[in-house]
Structure 1
Amino acid sequence: MFSTERVLSLFIILTCIFSALAYADGIHPQGIKLDGSVGTAGKIDLPGPDYQIKAELGKQSGANLFHSFQQFNIHKNESATFSGSASVKNIISRVTGGSASWIDGKLASTISGADLYFLNPAGVMFGSNAALDLSGSFHVSTADYLKMGDNERFYSTPIENEVLSVAPPSAFGLLSESPAKISIEGKGLISADQWDGKTAGLSVPEGKTLSLIGGDIEIRNGTWFETVEQGELKFVNPHAEKLLGSITAPGGQINMVGIASAGQVAIENGKPDIGDMKGGNITIADKSLIDVSGQGAGNVFIRSGNFVADDSAVYAKTLGDKNGGVVDIQADTISFKNGSEINGNTYGKGKGSDITLKTLGLLTFSGADNLKNASRIFLETHSKAEKAGDTGSLDISAKDILFSDGAYVSSGTFGRGSGGKLSLHADDDISFGGVNYDPYLKYFLRLYLGNNPDNPDIAFGGILSNVHAFSTGGNSGDIEIRSDNLFLSDSASIFSTTVGAGNSGRISIYATGVITMTDSIGPLHWAGGISTTTLSGIGHITGDAGYVLVESGSLTLKDGRYIASATNAILGGKSGNAGEVNIRVSGDILLSDINVYGSYRAAGYGGSGIMVSSSGNSGKAGNLFLEAHSLSLKNGAVLSTTALGNADGGDINIRVADSINIRGSSPVKVFSSAAYSQYTIQNFFSRIEASSTSPDKNSGNSGTVSVQVRNINISDGGMITTSSTGGGQAGDISLNVGNLEMHGGASVSSDADKSGGGRITVDAKDTIHLSDSSITTNVAQGTGKGGDITIGNPDTGIGSEFVILNRSRIQANAQDGDGGAVFVITENFLKSFSSIVEATSARGNEGTVRIEAPDLDISGSLIFLPGNFFDVTRWASTPCEARSDEPESRFEVRTHILYPVPFQDLP
């Protein structure tokens, strides 16, 4: 049996062991030990807890002071301080014992301006209490040697007859295919009153460099607390977060290099170069922060295999008059997820930071954090100073780019500075996805009505380049996208908008494959799209909207999605001109279906479409140009230019190689106010439209419509139309086609209320066939003359081969003014008895109708066949009669509407 003394002794021993382990932070042994390979001090254990590492414990060679340690660990409440002469420029230390270093206290130097290099090929770990107290830069590495100058090396393993170089360090050398890891741990969530006002983690002085170079690099459990944030637009976010930093170099430089192969990391022109070395993994997670913000933001250079930011951030904010630097991340894959952020904003006269993200694989921004902040990139300028800084630029290059779960890029100006260019280039696909949306939760209503207190900025993802309401002159930046395919879903959008004095930027999209935009999360602007917009109000004057250029192999817009350029003035404001929209597609364009959540009445649209508009006291609506192999508008889709005010509407120019199909309508909820509380159901028809709408008799003219195509098929209420409801002139319509087929209430029209109607010219080479359809010009009020309608080409005297009217109309009418003229040139003019060709006026002079065709007996060219046209019973056997005792066989047609077969389809 154990005696009482032995038990007591064992208890005391175990207590001492566990106490020592607790003091040593678990598995990390206590203390700093010299290995005796450098200098004359020999192998000694330095006394702690405040370890003094004097120059005589190492050896100085030129401006380099070398130290070599068997073990180097600093625990909580401990410190290690390097000292030496003022001639020292570089403190170069290595750890040779084969165990990783644990640093959870303060690492300091009293040598003014000296840089500290710390090498341990077995690994380096920084605890939550680790801190730096240096006046120079800090470089930590798990490299096997430090290259000095051009040819000399200082190895992490001692060698005989070692010569210590006087040259400065120039590269980090790795001999292992799996270099050891560097890790940094923060304190996590703290309360605001626990913050001492200083940055947390590892920090170097302003303008200095902090480098982490080794194998995998992990930064986790960043120090942060919750706070209340007052936004620029008087929005208060009660759940903002204050990140206190994991590694910080204000106005300086941070290098992070993760390597998974042997090689040499050179420092070329101040930034790391890994050549063709295999990259390791770099992870920053749990609200960790990499920060180079300062009077002029510094630089961040990251090189790795896989880079992951998980609920963390990279800040490069310019706070003063110096220009910002660059955030440059190059890796095999790049992932910002769960609310991670890159912030390159400028708040002073200095230019904001540029952001470069480059990968040969997949780049993703995805997910939201626990406060519902989506992953994002900020490039904004906030200063209202006379010479405020512009934002930096964004350059993303990858094989595939994916922004999902509402992730977005925000570039904007709140002052006089202008936005920088935003460029995204992908070898394959670029995809933007909005929030995960449950329509039964009416998410858009909660956001609009302010019932979601967490964050109102997560409605949809994409790219937003804005001039905000408080801007005093800056322009928003241009957006350029190049890829094979581009996908936008869940109301994800690409916007360039101005609600301030500046102009919105241009949007240029080049996709060699497909562009597809689907799925809306709410009415009107919640539908999302690609657009440049100006909006003014309450006496504000805003700039012009930029142009939109889209080039692709095919283009599909569904569910209310749109491409647009618009200028809007409300509440006494004044806005500039809308930009042009230029669509060039080598294949097919499909515009289909309405926004199932409806439309606001001022918008007038609920269907997918390509639109240019001007409203209120605005400038001219821009023109719309479209080229494609084929164009289809279905179920309420629209292609339009609109002026809702005194400005002129834009022109529509369409060049399609094969066919245009316009058909169908859909019922749409049209809300009576922006509160989205009351609505009516309206039927929206597919159409090509140029219109001008205003109660003012001095309103502008509507634009014109010019179409060149092989075949046009319009059906089920589809239309091509120009109109003016004010004093402006309705625009002309010109259709240069091979065949024009119109069925089921289709129309081509030009209508004016108080001015002259536009002219309609249809130059069809083959056939014009109208069934229950119409081609009309009309002036409803005033003394304006009805527009002329010309079928054929009067200049050449050549018309279509057939003009066929079946229960259809060609009319050029006016109310008070004179009727217009109808001029038809054709080889064959066929008209049913119920069809109408006229040019009339209720109070003015009748117009003229002139038809040039070999057969002018137009009233009898189409007839209905009688029921007994041909009785076949005399020649045909009747097997049905024999089987059923019926007196005769029958063929029944149970419909009262029959459409004739086009002549070209007859045998």
Structure 2
Amino acid sequence: MDKRSSIERSVWMLRIILGLLPLVWVSVSLGQTTSITSSGLNTQVSHGAGQPNYDITGGTRPDNGTNLFHSFGDFSVGTDQAARFLNDSGLATSNILSRVTGGHVSNIFGEINTTNFPGANLYLINPAGVLFGPTATLNVSGSVHVSTADYLRLADGLRFNAIPGPQDTLLSQAPVVAFGFLQAHPRPITVQGSQLSVAEGKGLSLVGGDVRITKGTLTAPGGQVNLVSLAGRGEARVSPEGITIAGWTSRGQIVIKGGTEPENVARLDTSGAAGGAIVLRGGKLSLVRAEFTTQAKVDNQTGGTIVVEATKSATFDTVGLRTGESNLDLSDPRASLNGGTVSLTAPTVRAANLTIDTSGNWDGLAGDVAINVQTLSASNLNLSNSGSHSSASANISIQASGPVTLRNSGIGSNEGFDSGGQNPGHITVRAATLMLERTRMSSFSVLDSGSDAGAGDIAIDVGRLTMLRSSIRTETVTLRFPTQAGNIGVSARDAILIDGSRIATFGNLGGSITLSTPHLTLNHLGSISTGSDGARAGDVSVNVRTLNMLNGGRITGDADAGNLTGNINIVASQSISIAGVGVDNLGNQLPSGISMFSGARAGSIHLVTPTMRLADGATVRVIGRPSDQAPSDIVLDVGRLDILRGARIENSSFGINGSVVINAAKSITLDHGTIKTVSDGNVPAGNVHLHAGKSILIRNGSLISADNTGPYIADMNNAGNIAIRAGKNVVIRDSTVSAKSQGGNGGTILVDAKYVALRNSQLTTSVSRGPDTVGGRIVVDAKHVTLRNSQLLSTATEGDGGTIHIRSRAFHKDATSVIDVSSESGTDGTVTIESRY
């Protein structure tokens, strides 16, 4: 039984081997066999014994015109052999139009030669299919168009059919305008390791069913490469934009796949004096380890266009699309080479390690990049259209009706050194959703002192924006100011999440940032910032329903010494919540918040919302330096404000005093919170104005202050004023309200409400130095005033005591409470208590 089984297995293996032998023989014989036969139209084929050349003469020439027609039964060329088209008539020829009628694939492993027809184009159609092997070559002085079409349509409407028939008597001199397909499944065109090239300025087209290129190279210097795939009946039309397909025609697959070694990368190259075009049109496109190059090589010339168009999907894996930035050894080291444009259109695009470079060289201009899709998912996408020296960058546009996801990618529109006043390029993204993960989107310019140009704008219009460890940034670096950094505008119909990410502008004149969305969240040190190193930072404008800033989320404006920041304006129709601290890579704790810092005048902060909550160390802060310009204010127009658990609002404008103004329709609550203005300069501290329609509650170690900590200078280093007004109640528990000065006069504290109560708290306007100083003024105006273990202090050390004025119908003070206007060295102040209601 075992012996019989062994024999059966041996017979089975022998059958498999014998079955595979013909396939092995075919693959070998394809490269060895030449079969060229005539099938009419007066085509003559001759071959001398032992000679490598097959000479093709005769043909049909309507009216002795410039179109020459040939008909072959078979057309295959073996390795080291050649199919030579010869002009035995001597007549001028523009087009050689050839068909293959025998129903066999044309296997091209040798040479196709038409040099006997200077400048003539070659058309070869075989509905059975065409294959180019690794040893195939083209020696054609005109363009080459290879197709599996069933006919060629001429400009006068006549057809050159692949099947012989009565129409053959109606051929004309008209040029070809379309490739026609009558089969439901057109046959493929295959390129296997071939190095196919045409003359300078000429075209190379493959138009068929599926088009497959493996480890091959197609070269058309300064000309055009067209790869067009149809999956059904229809026409591919010849146009100046390449070969196009009617919108209703089903499209097939284009597969381009290179080897794993760099020398085996699949290449399409139309680089030349002026770069030529590369056009791909199909249904499904798959590009793996491929390079497309259309660069210009001569001064003042432009790289060619790359068009990739799919009706179903396009997939890229380790692919380069390059229309500019030639690294050439030119006699003129500053040659101006313009980058060409790149257009990518498909419903679905998936990309990994895709590089698109349309950069200009020296004075050359960069080319535009346009991506139009339904969905785009990419990792390691590197998209650049930089300008160099006196050139300018061009525009980058991504338009998607569905989601766009970019990971570990870079999108850059960059201007080179000395842009010469050229217009900067802009970046535009429109999509249903945009997700950026470890991705950089930037508009950047480096300019010398002879340029006024700046960085381009970035505009994003999406349903939802998610940023994870990513950045959106515009920046200019220049020796001349003012030079404008680009503006950033983001509009999201649903929400924006900035998580560990940054949206920023920076330059001599920093660009503005505008965000509009129902819900904006900044988390894990996510930030929005503008900055300046030469004149003024840009403004930040945010229009939302809800703003949530968590774990170090920040909105900031910064400027170096002598420069100004812009303003921050935020409108939230529902709420603003700012809470927590984040930890950076160095271990530093950074609070969530909104802030301005300037070496000169800082800008103002204006927040508008029904409900605002600051908690857990969050800050709203302005820090400025001496300036003779307008003060920098913090203004909050809210319904309700809560400042909790170490949160603070601070204006430290150490020049012209900036104020804190809070208008609350309902209430203001400080629970271990701080509101303060500070001055250590030779001007008064800023003022604090709190106004609530109902109540103000200050408790649990909270502080409201307008102190001046500067040295004594008579009539200069005064404290600021504090006004606390409420429609009903002001309650202060275990807290302090202070308008003190070390070297100037005390400020004024006004508390105005129907009911005022202090418990374990202090109101103080004291001064500590200077014989000319005066303790400040405290005014409490309410129907009912209650003091329990609290102090009202307007004292002085060297100067005079201040003034305390209480106007109330009912004033209650317990035995542990103190009202003091005394002076250690000067004159005591005055206390007035009167009934006014």
Match of 1:529 among 467, 471, 495: 471
Match of 1:77 among 80, 105, 122: 80
- Give the match's secondary structure for 2:113: strand
Report the residue type matching 2:257 in the other structure: A
Cα offset, 1:307, TM superposition: 1.2
Matched, 1:351 2:338: yes
Q: Which moved more, 1:91-100 or 1:499-508?
A: 499-508
Cα offset, 1:172, TM superposition: 0.8
Report the residue type matching 2:414 in the other structure: N
Superimposed CA distance per residue, residues 152-199 of structure 1 (whole angstroms, 9 cap, x where no aligned partner) = 111112124721323222211111111111111227xxxxxxxxxxxx
Alpha-carbon spacing, 1:507–1:862, altered in 2? closer, same or farther (3 Å): farther
Report the residue type matching 2:182 in the other structure: L
Alpha-carbon spacing, 1:183–1:728, altered in 2? closer, same or farther (3 Å): farther
Match of 1:284 among 246, 256, 278: 256
* Alignment check: 8 A CA contact 2:275 2:304 kept: yes
Q: Which moved more, 1:117-126 or 1:44-53?
A: 44-53
Match of 1:382 in 2: 361
Alpha-carbon spacing, 1:170–1:46, altered in 2? closer, same or farther (3 Å): farther
Match of 2:588 in 1: 682
- Distance, in Å, in 2 between the alignment partners of 1:748 and 1:315 is 57
Cα offset, 1:784, TM superposition: 1.9
- Aligned runs of 1:254-273 on 2, under 5 Å? 254-273=225-244
Match of 1:412 in 2: 386
- Distance, in Å, in 2 between the alignment partners of 1:619 and 1:756 is 19
Matched, 1:306 2:284: yes
TM-score, normalising length from structure 2? 0.81
Cα offset, 1:323, TM superposition: 3.2
Matched, 1:609 2:527: yes
- Give the match's secondary structure for 1:399: strand
- Distance, in Å, in 2 between the alignment partners of 1:828 and 1:262 is 82
Matched, 1:590 2:532: no
* Alignment check: 8 A CA contact 1:91 1:116 kept: yes
Report the residue type matching 1:564 in the other structure: A
- Give the match's secondary structure for 2:83: strand
TM-score, normalising length from structure 1? 0.75
Report the residue type matching 1:382 in the other structure: N
Match of 2:669 among 769, 772, 791: 769
Alpha-carbon spacing, 1:514–1:831, altered in 2? closer, same or farther (3 Å): same
* Alignment check: 8 A CA contact 1:415 1:473 kept: no
- Distance, in Å, in 2 between the alignment partners of 1:339 and 1:161 is 48
Match of 2:411 in 1: 463
Cα offset, 1:346, TM superposition: 5.0
Alpha-carbon spacing, 1:207–1:40, altered in 2? closer, same or farther (3 Å): closer
Match of 1:704 in 2: 604
- Distance, in Å, in 1 between the alignment partners of 2:522 and 2:494 is 11
Cα offset, 1:63, TM superposition: 1.4
- Aligned runs of 1:248-647 on 2, under 5 Å? 248-275=219-246, 276-286=248-258, 287-320=265-298, 321-346=300-325, 348-349=335-336, 351-359=338-346, 361-366=347-352, 374-383=353-362, 388-404=363-379, 406-434=380-408, 461-468=409-416, 476-489=424-437, 491-501=438-448, 502-511=453-462, 513-518=463-468, 520=469, 528-535=470-477, 543-567=483-507, 576-585=508-517, 587-593=518-524, 607-615=525-533, 618-647=534-563
- Give the match's secondary structure for 1:311: strand
Q: How many matched pairs? A: 712
- Distance, in Å, in 2 between the alignment partners of 1:158 and 1:174 is 16
Match of 1:795 in 2: none
Match of 1:740 in 2: 641
From the two aligned structures, give the one with the greater strand fraction: 2
Q: Which moved more, 1:475-484 or 1:555-564?
A: 555-564
Cα offset, 1:414, TM superposition: 2.4
- Give the match's secondary structure for 1:534: strand
* Alignment check: 8 A CA contact 1:150 1:170 kept: no
Match of 1:90 in 2: 95
Q: Which moved more, 1:326-335 or 1:69-78?
A: 326-335
Match of 1:784 in 2: 683
* Alignment check: 8 A CA contact 2:338 2:361 kept: no
Match of 1:140 in 2: 146
- Give the match's secondary structure for 1:162: helix
- Give the match's secondary structure for 1:55: strand
Report the residue type matching 2:445 in the other structure: T
- Give the match's secondary structure for 1:381: coil
* Alignment check: 8 A CA contact 1:31 1:45 kept: no
Alpha-carbon spacing, 1:24–1:330, altered in 2? closer, same or farther (3 Å): closer
Match of 1:102 in 2: 107
Superimposed CA distance per residue, residues 471-499 of structure 1 (whole angstroms, 9 cap, x where no aligned partner) = 6765642100001110001x112111123
Match of 1:183 in 2: 190
- Distance, in Å, in 1 between the alignment partners of 2:112 and 2:457 is 51
* Alignment check: 8 A CA contact 2:609 2:637 kept: yes
Match of 1:755 among 655, 660, 668: 655
- Aligned runs of 1:803-814 on 2, under 5 Å? 803-807=696-700, 808-814=702-708
Cα offset, 1:555, TM superposition: 3.8
- Distance, in Å, in 1 between the alignment partners of 2:656 and 2:483 is 32
Report the residue type matching 1:218 in the other structure: R
- Distance, in Å, in 1 between the alignment partners of 2:672 and 2:82 is 92
- Distance, in Å, in 2 between the alignment partners of 1:156 and 1:28 is 25
- Distance, in Å, in 2 between the alignment partners of 1:648 and 1:161 is 80
- Aligned runs of 1:104-143 on 2, under 5 Å? 104-109=109-114, 110-143=116-149
Matched, 1:843 2:740: no
- Distance, in Å, in 2 between the alignment partners of 1:563 and 1:745 is 27
Cα offset, 1:295, TM superposition: 1.9
- Give the match's secondary structure for 1:407: strand
Report the residue type matching 2:728 in the other structure: N
Report the residue type matching 1:802 in the other structure: S
Alpha-carbon spacing, 1:534–1:269, altered in 2? closer, same or farther (3 Å): closer
Report the residue type matching 2:446 in the other structure: V
Cα offset, 1:778, TM superposition: 0.6
Cα offset, 1:661, TM superposition: 0.1
- Give the match's secondary structure for 1:305: strand
Alpha-carbon spacing, 1:143–1:48, altered in 2? closer, same or farther (3 Å): farther
- Give the match's secondary structure for 1:516: strand
- Give the match's secondary structure for 2:318: coil
Match of 1:208 among 195, 202, 224: 202
* Alignment check: 8 A CA contact 1:259 1:278 kept: yes
- Give the match's secondary structure for 2:646: coil
**Larger-gyration structure (1/2):** 2
* Alignment check: 8 A CA contact 1:613 1:621 kept: yes
Report the residue type matching 1:809 in the other structure: L
Alpha-carbon spacing, 1:75–1:27, altered in 2? closer, same or farther (3 Å): closer
Match of 2:804 in 1: none
What is the aligned-residue RMSD (CA, Å)?
2.6
- Distance, in Å, in 2 between the alignment partners of 1:267 and 1:19 is 40
Cα offset, 1:47, TM superposition: 5.8
- Give the match's secondary structure for 1:484: strand
* Alignment check: 8 A CA contact 1:476 1:497 kept: no
* Alignment check: 8 A CA contact 1:495 1:530 kept: yes
* Alignment check: 8 A CA contact 2:83 2:112 kept: yes
Report the residue type matching 1:363 in the other structure: V
Cα offset, 1:410, TM superposition: 1.2
Cα offset, 1:34, TM superposition: 2.5
Identity percentage of aligned residues: 27
Cα offset, 1:642, TM superposition: 1.0
Give structure 2 stretches of 5+ with no counterpart.
1-20, 259-264, 327-334, 711-716, 761-784, 790-837
Alpha-carbon spacing, 1:864–1:111, altered in 2? closer, same or farther (3 Å): farther
Matched, 1:157 2:175: no
